[in-house]
Chains A and B, each alone.
Chain A
């Protein structure tokens, strides 16, 4: 589904990604781990289309279609979703109105009519229940005054509403207490199917206890220096990242 080849990206001429190769197939969960500053969040941002980073080399394709030529919204229309590490506050737009707009824009781009209001409401109810969200958050301004955990839950709620083909969860576990972590993980697990895929970007192992990855990759200094199965995450938890630096 997703194929990244020799990806190089930089910000203000400073190289951050230095030749990433990654293939994610439908139905798979990949975890990308690594120490701070290794380029994990940059990788997520580049896939989602953040223009702060310039791609200097390499390709990213989704189902053989070049993503790099597409704007962030066009990538979303193809089924790319990124859960932000730091979700943005948008005063004046309620969560409900925001997600309605997003869903109908995605539908429009894919040649569909607006979702009838009744179905929209039903879907909002189901997905917010799945994430055990307090309904009052839905009518409040998007993320404004939300706690870190509430913001993350709201991200996964939006993901549940948009039903992306490829979801990238950027440090979704940070700011979540253990109960919220379980709810979010449960939500992600319920949304999984054989046709979609998830990339989890995390510093720690704990989210991976609840969303079990098929593959774990270790990113260091802009490159994937080691890949393995879920046991690699445990190894990193035990040994830390220092031994990885030796591999680079």
Chain B
């Protein structure tokens, strides 16, 4: 039985067990999603959007589909995966199940809590009806798969005029107690007018057992809201991740999504921004540092459909050994979106002899009074810079690492939480195998 068939029959079993909110509107959404998924199946390389990423190797496993038992882990064992230097709200999931003792939620003036309760409790019904599954890309079969199955994740609803006093950390741990597991977290983030939220998200496997995560996040930024979202992807080489994040922005809102891909077997990031209002700013920042046979595919879309908005996209990639990268950055400027300022930059360095990057900037511009630029480079390390550094006594290995580090610095500088910036700096340094004698 293929994974697709197994998933479809699992859906029916779960439905029969009454686990999929049979009496709510969510059930209709699920039923529709699974029937669309059944038609679509998993994407293959024949699909234009998946041309350079094959899911074959991650789909061949016999995944357990629904987590049953709560597995516990000790905080001391996983402390290093938290940004523990700062106070934060925490939504922690272990093998897809909410862990109350590792989490810190709130309902005090705003909701930072669980998707499972938001989907069930009547008091959230109106919000769920208004926002849930509204901006996902329904053409994407993996997103439909998540919609069909997902029951848990982060539910964050911040009403207007609130500057959140501390960031929110969402961490999904996988214990490896199941040999092969498919997890499908679902996050919903709604940020009210003038409110300000910072979110750090991480998926972390704690063993070398196989895990495939198929995550979906919807982010709604209302007028003048500011949202900074950071994704840390530094997982084991037995872990794969398909992450789909959809952002809808209203007038004068500012949203940044920052993606740091340093580990994992296969990582696919779908990131889509939709503008609904003027004077919106969208920031898409990414750093990928890969080695061995790792694969990262960053697929982004910014849809400018209103005038006077700006988008800034910068993705940098370093590829060693036989790693492969994909950058597909699509920017659409509708005819109504005059005075758009869309900037896109993608720089790649290939270090490994067998490393590959497929870079594809795509601009579709239907308005005539716009400023759109894109730049894409694929190169190797600058030999003259290496000689310069060596001539000052910095050995070749350190000089290379420092140059690569410097290459990513432009993106690191955009991190607005100092402790997170330090953490990302350290992750980059360790991934590059360099000991930095200073803070950048």
Contact = CB atoms under 8 A, between A and B. Distances in A.
Nearest to A86: B384
Contact of B391 (A49, A104, A109): A49
Interface residues of A toward B: which range?
35 or more
Interface string B255-275: 000000000000000000000
Contacts of B405: 92-93
B398 A101 contact: yes
Interface stretch (A72-80, A126-134, A226-234): A72-80
B390 interface: yes
A57 B179 CA distance: 64
A97 B390 contact: no
Contacts of A100: 437-438
A130 to B, nearest CB: 18
Interface string A64-93: 000000011101110001101001101111
Contacts of A90: 385, 388-389, 403, 406
Nearest to A50: B387
A241 B147 CA distance: 81
A166 interface: no
Given A92-B406, A97-B438, A71 B398 contact: no
Nearest to A87: B388
B394 A71 contact: no
A51 B391 CA distance: 11
Contacts of A109: 393, 395
A106 B393 contact: yes
Interface in A95-144: 96-106, 109, 114, 141
B46 interface: no
B345 to A, nearest CB: 13
A105 B391 contact: no
A98 B385 CA distance: 12
A88 B388 contact: yes
B417 interface: no
Nearest to B438: A97
Interface string B396-440: 101100110111111000000000000000000000000001101
Interface centre among A90, A92, A106 (most CB of B within 10 A): A92
Contacts of B76: none
Given A73-B390, A88-B388, A97-B440, A105 B395 contact: yes
Contacts of B388: 84, 87-88, 90
A92 to B, nearest CB: 3
Interface string A188-228: 00000000000000000000000000000000000000000
Contacts of A172: none
A96 B440 CA distance: 10
B392 interface: yes
Contacts of A97: 438, 440
A104 B440 CA distance: 16
Interface residues of B, number: 26
Contacts of B407: 92
A73 B393 contact: yes
A114 B436 CA distance: 12
Contact of A82 (B384, B389, B391, B410): B391
A116 B168 CA distance: 38
B392 A76 contact: yes
Contacts of A50: 387, 391
Interface string A41-59: 0000000111110000000
A94 B406 CA distance: 9
Nearest to A79: B393
A118 to B, nearest CB: 14
Given A88-B385, A105-B395, A71 B390 contact: yes
Contacts of A114: 437
A199 to B, nearest CB: 14
Nearest to A109: B393
B189 to A, nearest CB: 32
A71 B392 contact: no
B393 A76 contact: yes
Contacts of B440: 92-94, 97
Interface string B194-223: 000000000000000000000000000000
Given A97-B440, A104-B437, A73 B402 contact: no
A31 interface: no
A75 B387 CA distance: 12
Contacts of B392: 73, 76, 81, 98-99, 102, 158, 162
A101 B406 contact: no
A73 B406 contact: no
A71 B394 CA distance: 11
A26 to B, nearest CB: 20
Contacts of A103: 393
Contacts of A141: 406
A91 B394 contact: no
A86 B385 CA distance: 11
A81 B393 CA distance: 9
A114 B391 CA distance: 19
Given A73-B395, A92-B407, A92-B410, A101 B390 contact: no
Contacts of B408: 92
A105 B394 contact: yes
A40 to B, nearest CB: 17
B163 to A, nearest CB: 30
Interface of B: 382, 384-385, 387-396, 398-399, 402-403, 405-410, 437-438, 440
13 contacts: A50-B391, A71-B390, A72-B391, A76-B391, A88-B388, A93-B402, A98-B392, A100-B438, A101-B398, A101-B438, A102-B393, A106-B393, A162-B392
Interface of A: 48-52, 71-73, 75-77, 81-82, 84, 87-88, 90-94, 96-106, 109, 114, 141, 158, 162
| A-B pairs with lowest CB-CB distance, top 5 | A92-B406, A92-B409, A76-B393, A72-B390, A88-B388
